[in-house]
Amino acid sequence: MKYAILLLPDEKLVDYVNNVKNKVREKFSKKRESFQPHITLRGNFETDVNIELVMSQLKDIANSYEVINLSSKGINIFKNPKLENIIYSLKIEKNPALMEIHKTIIDFVNKVKNEWIDERYNALEGAQRKFVSLYGVPFVLDFFNPHVTLVNTDYFDVTDFELLNSILEDFDGNFDFNCKSIALVEEDDNFSGWKVVAKYDLM
């Protein structure tokens, strides 16, 4: 079973993301359901530790943090050459509070994860390869790219990118919001998405 730990935003951001998705859904059919809006603090990992113990320790971490105030600074387009999908996302500005909880979570996962590493990371070199060796994933610390996905072509059958871009022109992606909770999620049985195992409010 694969897990991830997410930072969950407030209703303001959730409504914004859902509004974007609804506009896109008017023009493009949906391939499958996407997961609720979130910022991934630590992506795919496996663990041999009792999941109840993982949940208990994660709750303690949540209780040690206050609500985190963040800013979205526009919309970014990311093309994933490995997966051949395209992701439109909100660019989340890094700040000390976000980086602190990110570092806490990756250190925590390092203590409970097993040795499984996604084979797609084997081709990486340099600093990212070092981070894979240290943390099991390359997207941490200097390479941590906080974002909230708006449109992923894995979830929508996008046939006209000019039309998609014109839809997104109505959304500048610049606003402030906060995150009030963290969640432990697991990949569902048919490997089509994630489901929440536990959710804990920040203090």
pLDDT tens across 57-99, in order?
A: 999 999 999 999 999 999 999 876 556 789 999 999 999 999 9
How many CB atoms within 10 Å of residue 59? Answer: 16
pLDDT tens across 134-186, in order?
A: 999 999 999 999 999 999 988 899 999 999 999 999 999 999 999 999 999 99
What is the span of the domain harbouring residue 123? 3-201
CATH number at residue 85: 3.90.1140.10
DSSP string covering 11-48, please?
Answer: HHHHHHHHHHHHHHHTTS-BSSPPPPS-EEEEEEE-B-
Number of C-alpha atoms within 13 angstroms, CB side, residue 154?
A: 15
Number of domains present in the structure of the chain? 1
pTM comes to: 0.93
User: How far out from the chain centre does Cα 198 lie?
Assistant: 16
